[in-house]
Amino acid sequence: MLKLIMGHKGSGKTKLLIEMVNTSADVDQGDVICIEKGKKLQFDIKHNVRLIDISEYDVKDFNSFFGFICGIIASDYDITSIYIDSILKICSDDLVEFEKFLFKLNNLIENEGKSIVITASGDSSALPENVKKHFVA
């Protein structure tokens, strides 16, 4: 299942993401991954969550990010949930490419039975309806 948390800066997206990550850490029967740019969440999420600082890897666009996620899933069959903070800061703010990325990602995780939650800063009204169906309230 793919979920998207989108809103303007300061709207509480990361706080909601942290709550969701920590809940998954408590209840999931598998591994939980959290991907962010930098290490600002290292003291906010539980120790049993694998925190990945994406800036340590050469990931700068949606295609390389998709490959990165495929590699993570391929290397660990026990992953149940992946959380991604501020994806538009990691890749770009190109909403057309973002839509293509979400489509590919949704197809991947539907086949794998994984859950991915993504936060993004921006105006959600600019996104098409097929992306808005993934919004978290």
| Strand order from edge to edge, sheet including 2-7 | 2-7, 115-121, 79-84, 31-36, 50-53
Classify residue 101: in a domain, yes or no. yes
- Residue-number span of the structural domain to which 32 is assigned: 2-132
Higher pLDDT among residues 111 and 2, named by residue? 2
CATH number of the domain where residue 28 is located: 3.40.50.300
Classify residue 61: in a domain, yes or no. yes
If one counts the domains in the chain, the total is 1
Classify residue 115: in a domain, yes or no. yes
Classify residue 137: in a domain, yes or no. no
Classify residue 21: in a domain, yes or no. yes
45-102 pLDDT tens trace: 999 999 999 999 999 899 999 999 999 999 999 999 999 999 999 998 888 899 999 9
Distance of CA 97 to the CA centre of its chain: 15
Tell me the pTM: 0.93
